[in-house]
A and B are shown apart, each in its own frame.
Chain A
Amino acid sequence: MRVKHTAITLALITTLSACGGSGSDDTSTETPVVPTTGFSFVATEMIINLTDDVIVAGYADLAAQGDTLLLATQTLLTSTSQADLVAAQNAWKSARQPWEQGESHIFGPVDSLSIDPHLDSWPLNTTDLQTQLDSNSGFDAETIKAWNDDVQGFHTMEYLLFGDGVNSNTKLIADLSTKEREYLIALAEVFRDYTAQLDDAWQVSHNPQDKNAKPYAELLKTPGDATNTIYSSQLAVIEELINGMIGIVDEVGNGKIADPFGESLTTADTSKVESQYSWNSLTDFSNNIIGVRNVYQGEFTGGADKQGLIDFVTAADTTLATRVASEIDDAILKIQAISGSTSMPFRQAILDDDGRARTQVAVDALTKLQATLQSDVLPLLSDWNS
């Protein structure tokens, strides 16, 4: 009897003490280390330039492409002209460009307002898409907004515009059913709304619920400001930018390309290829890395020279600055080269021995770039006398 009670008591004590163990984390505030060496760089101009001329300009372009795409799909409602379908396909590809380039800085409203999944959910749910087509008519944008993300956005429109992409990426206007046209137009309207909302969040107010909220661009450009609750310093902004570049290089190399690529030809899986219906995959991937170049160089390809992260890296190490620039260019070229001399789309290339060899070269280039950004560029932040 006594032994039993002692056992119960012990069990109780053990249980109760186990329950009471939750304590608050020790969040020790780090004292800033004042470097005795390091490099100097005045980042204000670079941050303003990257915000206005790269990021905001990109989202403004995307919103404009959203308008164009809606118009192009509306034309299809009663059209019998193949040229109209091709025009809509091209409008889709044009909208794809600023979006994919913008993935190099996928922070801020696109993330906090969950706009990314509404626009670019992958994979597409063709089963549900077919259900919607079969059982609805007179699609409207507000209804579609309430549906799950895998039956709206870029890839749903892509599927309707280009077909299943297995053997070709051309679809005949005659094969586009009335319901598909209606659905497409409503999807484009939803798309237009979200891209406009994203643009507004950067230029008008970053929180649509709060009219007094500043535009997100303002927050990025005024780090350390007393009212700035998001960025406490210029260092925080630059860190966000560098991490954004690392993030997309990682996603392209280790996700978008490597996942369908597989370890061998037998484990390659074309069902995982993004933008497979339009055969736009390689353009997507290279646009992702061109987005990295935009942030690094401070201007869109071919634009007049402005300050970008390259100027920050140059202030610390000119050799490294040049090396990063060439590694970025190299990665873009290697991705584009996957198509080979026969303009092979990515979904075919991963099932082809030579195509696989070229793909491996591109993956290696991306791995190298990612390593450089992580182990050489990111650590510069601690050497910077900000």
Chain B
Amino acid sequence: MNNTLTLLAVSVASVLGLSVMSNAHAATNTEIFAKAIAKQEAEIALLKQQLTTLASEQKQQQQQNKLVATQVDTVVQKTAEAHDRFSRFSVNSYGSAVYTSDEYFDNVQDTSAERRNRTDLERIVTEFGYQFTDDWSMEVEIEYEHGGTGSALEYDGFDEFGEFESEVEAGGEVVVEKAEIRYRPSKAFGVKFGNIHLPIGLSSILHKPSQYLTVQRHKSEAAMMPTVWNENGIGVYGEMSDFHYQAQVISGLNSEYFRTYDWVASGHQKRFEEVNTDDLAFAGRLDYGNFKTGSAIGVAYYYGNTSGNRHKSNKLDVDGALRIMSVAGAFVEGPWILRGQYLYGTLDNADAITLANKTTPGLRPGNFAQLGSESQSFFVEAGVKLDEWFDIPMTVFANIDYSNPLMAVETGTATQRYENTWSSVGINYSPIPEVVIKAEGGLHQVAVASIPDTNFFALGVGYQFSL
């Protein structure tokens, strides 16, 4: 552009210079003079034309520049949008594999235990989330348990001569553990619905391998209620200063599957494609602090009827109201970790439910029909992170799990056979923050004096990451 202008200036200068020189001859020859003028005029006209052309070219170029700029803008914007969309998408995963070695008894009369070692790809969990807008989001959690799918054959040592039975619900399985849509206009208030986690039991809150110290999740909770409990329903939640609250209305349990050894846990309706929701339940929780990130204390409460969700509705004409209360605390400060939970539950008309389960054709509760009218369990785990003093990313811990799903029965005396205590010590070693390797050894005691104590040992590896 600048070159063109310089050229033009030079040409104009030369033309003017020429005209000055020719003035000398003008007086002598008018014709020549006129010709020269005409020529100059013609040249000027040409130059003007060239100038116009140049100006229009310049304008065109400016327009083009503008267009390019807009296009660049668009591309930049789109890239940003795409980046934004991907940043609204989240993927997390965690999982664990364990090796356990414990002693078992052949049948209820057997008092000499045999040792059995087992390995299990406990679970691989994948979580997908998407933030639609600032307020709306969703999350789906898919869990692969025991490394596969399908029905499994189980050995029931309590049965007559030991019975092999195929269990549709046990063994490897793929479960949608959570599938929820969330609307959260503010920190203080949010709504979630779909298949949601109940806030009862710390395992529902702390279920990643690095969030608990024992090799397997706490046995005490599993012996009493569904762990990592999910139901279909709707819940509100939020936080105000350091208080976290949750309140939910969800599908209830089915008392047909309540069993002596795990109280209401197997009443979790996973056996069928559709969940009976004639009886709804309420779950609420209030925490001060945050269990996931550190210290907290909290209470939780569950209330629901369980008779209406029975398949065989004419077997029971009384309510089976179920209440579970929980008190939990965590102190996580510097190298110290201390967590504990106490659960207590009551079940109305436990005897009537027992009798109904025993006499429903084809239900087969076997020898495990009798239900506790009260149930309790607790755990306390304490750990110290050694990296505070040594250059080693390791935590040593001690743990006690206690459960008694048959704490009291409506009539008669409850047997202590189901009153279990597991005491253990162990380590958590994290070579990198995403991986934890665990070892644990301990003592399992049954409250019945004639059943000898047994020792158990377990190894585990867990991982977790977020993209």
Contacts and interface: CB of A to CB of B under 8 A. Distances in A.
Nearest to B83: A1
B282 interface: no
B160 interface: yes
B17 interface: no
A136 B413 contact: yes
Contacts of A256: 161
Q: On chain B, which size bracket covers the interface?
A: 35 or more
B368 interface: yes
Contact of A128 (B176, B364, B411, B417): B417
Interface string B94-128: 00000000000011111000000000000000101
Contacts of B358: 114, 118, 145-146
Interface string A111-145: 01110011001111111100110011000000101
B361 interface: yes
A207 interface: yes
A85 to B, nearest CB: 24
B315 interface: yes
B367 A121 contact: yes
A271 B110 contact: yes
A149 interface: yes
A143 B352 CA distance: 10
B413 A5 contact: no
Interface stretch (A12-20, A90-98, A285-293): A12-20
Contact of A149 (B174, B360, B367, B450): B367
A342 interface: no
Interface string B347-377: 0000100110011111111111110000000
B161 A259 contact: yes
A5 B88 CA distance: 12
A123 B107 contact: yes
B432 interface: no
Q: Is the interface of B mostly helix, strand, loop or mixed?
A: loop
B86 interface: yes
B206 interface: no
Interface string B409-437: 11111011100000000000000000000
Which among A12, A113, A127, A271 has the highest number of chain B CB atoms within 10 Å? A127
A135 B414 CA distance: 9
Given A18-B174, A127-B415, A136-B412, A255 B370 contact: no
Contacts of A118: 358
8 contacts: A11-B126, A117-B366, A125-B417, A127-B450, A127-B451, A131-B413, A148-B368, A148-B369
Interface of B: 86, 89, 91, 106-110, 126, 128, 142, 160-162, 174, 176, 260, 314-315, 351, 354-355, 358-370, 409-413, 415-417, 448, 450-451, 467
Given A136-B412, A209-B315, 19 more contacts: A114-B361, A114-B363, A121-B160, A124-B108, A127-B108, A127-B415, A128-B108, A131-B413, A132-B412, A132-B413, A136-B413, A146-B411, A149-B366, A149-B367, A209-B314, A259-B162, A271-B110, A272-B106, A272-B107
Interface of A: 4-5, 8, 11-12, 15, 18-19, 112-114, 117-118, 121-128, 131-132, 135-136, 143, 145-150, 207, 209, 251, 255-256, 259, 269, 271-272, 274
